[in-house]
Amino acid sequence: MAQLSRRHVLRLGAGIAGATVIGPGRADDGDRRVHGLSAFGELKYPATFTSFDYVNADAPKGGLFSQVVGSGDYIFDTFNAFIPKGNAANGMELTFSSLMARAQDEPDAVYLFAAEELTVSADGTTFRFRLRQDIRFHDGSRIKAEDVAFSLDALKTQGFPSYRSYLSDVAEVIVEDERTIVLRLTSPHGLDVAPVVASLPILSKAYYANKSFAETSLEPPLGSGPYRISQFEQGRFVQFERVKDWWGADLPVCRGSHNFDILRDEYYRDREAGFQAFTGRNYLFREEFTAKSWATRYDFPAIRDGRVKRETIPDERPSAAQGWLFNTRREKFKDWRVRDAIGMLFDFEWTNKNVMYDAYQRTYSVFKNSDMMAKGEPTAGELALLAPFRDRLPSEVFGPAWIPPVTDGSGQDRQLRRRAADLLTEAGWTVKDGGRRVNAKNEAFTIEFLLKDPTFEPHHGVFIKNLRSLGIEAAIRLVDSSQETARKREFDFDIIVARFILPQIPGAALRGYFSSQYANAPGSDNLAGIADPVVDELLKIVAAAKSQAELNTASRALDRVLRSGRYWVPQWSSPNHRIAYWDEFSHPAIKPRFDRGAPETWWYDPVKATKAAQAKKT
């Protein structure tokens, strides 16, 4: 890359005060110009591509798309979606641009967006971006390289810990001139770092000159993306309007997307109120997350006369792991035998049949639905990675990959309860007078399940009953969304429901979830408090993978160790998105493989809207 005699270098974490710019450098032999990035250099689209395959490049612009946010009891109190404070509004990514943009039909590929050129050094550690000539923030000010440098520094030093997990591999940021910025990564670095860092939002340095990036705010931020906030009412709705004459509209990564003039997100504190609002056409699109509702409630008049459509569309992303996470920072959950015993008392088979209409599959791996999930006996490659840690790992890791026991479906499997009781006793929790389970200090074993959604209470019923049958005082603590967010970020819980949503090509992303570095960092994704040196070493091996085969092997080894830790009680996943919408839209025949596609690639269809209106009259 460029050999610079004088330059401004931003070493991430050191701040950017007094930033200067310098003249352009030269490219060394061996550098290569690329139009896209992926972990292993495999790109579907050539440099000459004009649009993604999953869009209608000629989709008309106009109309309104409105949807409910979440499944109830979700509010927002800030538009700053990048810091571990407050409850951020949904959809804020629509207001920002980035150096590169994701292709949703490839595992991790990104293509040129705000940058028009990218040169990568032969060793894969230096990335030189050249910004497009006339790209601007919504106030008309130009986007400059210094804005990119400011953004990376702000996200690393003041943003969510997940940003740090990526940006810790960025050694320095060099502002060459107003349109050129160079990123130098450490060697080695996470295989997913370059694509992710290139797709981070570009913030305006000037906008934050007199504002604190680290604080919550309900002032709509200055962005440069396809939409800007036009109206909002705190906790009730946010309306985004499409930016007319937006500079990115005809770029290959944007053509056929962002077709609605208005996007409106509706918020409801109560799930039932949210559902009734949909039946009354107060909003137009809904993804249903409750199996019971999907099975029993979609029979209202607009469904029967065709004005509302129902679809199930495949979700091909790794389904990740959803479960009840133990807070292992608390003494009562430090012994894996305790965690194992508690897990045995959840009857998935009964719950799936009686509460969830047999709509779900059990999930037990963070890499479920992918080739990175461990299965059966470890391969020779997995054993080679695990062997150095044999004396620090349970023998289970070197045998068949652990899966949770299958119950008899009665809701009170006696054999599993006996096994759980024995494990609790082994771990020092014995039954005393009154049937209470206590430790050597005569402290009662209590569990508080932190929960924000009352419709999830039935899923806890038999679980809590079985815990109480073994002398554990278990109960639900129902809180609102703000309280749940605050307590989660401060790790103020016994057990909490969470889902690991990992990228298709993980690397540095895994640190935020499982590294000891983030076990006690407020706001991190390591909710369970995993702090295992073996896990830390395996995370390095995963991040250093040079091929998909190496990644699969390393991830499977990591998967075996994580499962052996029993850090969560595995729950379930669905292989489909369940969506319902008022029939006023059209969408491409091809859905993006790794995304729902709505509203990004859909468009308003006035012909369908007219027919729907006529159907209502008849």
Please state, in angstroms and rounded to a whole number, the distance separating the CA atoms of residues 526 and 244: 41
Please tell me if the domain spanning 8-57+77-210 has the same topology as the one spanning 227-315+575-617: yes
Give how far Cα 467 sits from Cα of 327, 336, 461, 589, Å.
17, 17, 10, 49
For residues 585 and 603, the answer to whether their CB atoms sit within 8 Å is yes
The predicted pLDDT at position 71 comes to 63
The predicted pLDDT at position 5 comes to 30
φ, ψ at 547 (rounded to 5°):
-150, 165
Please state, in angstroms and rounded to a whole number, the distance separating the CA atoms of residues 449 and 197: 36
Q: Which segments of the chain have a pLDDT < 50? A: 1-27
Please state, in angstroms and rounded to a whole number, the distance separating the CA atoms of residues 371 and 204: 40
Smallest Cα–Cα separation from 196: which of 252, 229, 156, 224? 156
Q: Is the peptide bond before 458 cis (omega within 30 degrees of 0)?
A: no
Taking the CA of residue 347 as centre, how many other CA atoms within 13 Å lie in the half-sphere pointing to its CB? 24
> Is CATH 3.40.50.620 correct for 227-315+575-617?
no
The predicted pLDDT at position 575 comes to 85
This prediction has a pTM of: 0.91
For residues 447 and 472, the answer to whether their CB atoms sit within 8 Å is yes
Helices and strands (H, E) in the chain, number of each type: 16, 27
Q: For 170, which DSSP code?
A: E
For residues 502 and 165, the answer to whether their CB atoms sit within 8 Å is no
Fold entry, domain 8-57+77-210? D-Maltodextrin-Binding Protein; domain 2 (3.40.190)
| Residue matched to tokens 């369908």 | 608
Angle at the Cα of 161 from the Cα atoms of 481 and 220, rounded to 5 degrees = 60
Structure tokens at 304: 């029967």
Structure tokens at 40: 């292993």
Give how far Cα 54 sits from Cα of 200, 393, 589, Å.
23, 45, 8
Specify whether the backbone of 264 is left (phi greater than 0), alpha (psi in -120 to 50) or beta: beta
Please state, in angstroms and rounded to a whole number, the distance separating the CA atoms of residues 302 and 581: 10
The predicted pLDDT at position 22 comes to 29
Q: What is the maximum alpha-carbon separation in the chain?
A: 79
Tell me the sheet residues that pair with 500. 321
Beta carbons within 8 Å of 539's beta carbon, 6+ residues apart: 510, 511, 514, 515, 558
Domain ranges of the chain: 8-57+77-210, 227-315+575-617, 321-573
Q: Are strands 308-314 and 576-582 parallel, antiparallel or unpaired?
A: antiparallel
Q: Is the peptide bond before 454 cis (omega within 30 degrees of 0)?
A: no
The predicted pLDDT at position 75 comes to 84
For residues 182 and 176, the answer to whether their CB atoms sit within 8 Å is yes
pLDDT in tens, 83-132: 999 999 999 999 999 999 999 999 999 999 999 999 999 999 999 999 99
Q: Are strands 110-112 and 170-177 parallel, antiparallel or unpaired?
A: unpaired
Helix 336-344 and helix 414-426, axial crossing angle in degrees, nearest 10:
160
The predicted pLDDT at position 18 comes to 31
φ, ψ at 302 (rounded to 5°):
-65, -25
Please state, in angstroms and rounded to a whole number, the distance separating the CA atoms of residues 67 and 78: 19
The predicted pLDDT at position 319 comes to 65
Length of the chain: 618
Beta carbons within 8 Å of 248's beta carbon, 6+ residues apart: 97, 113, 114, 135, 225, 226, 254
Q: Hey, which CATH number is domain 321-573, 3.10.105.10, 3.40.1000.10, 1.10.645.10, 3.30.1360.70?
A: 3.10.105.10
Please state, in angstroms and rounded to a whole number, the distance separating the CA atoms of residues 245 and 16: 32
Structure tokens at 82: 């990048």
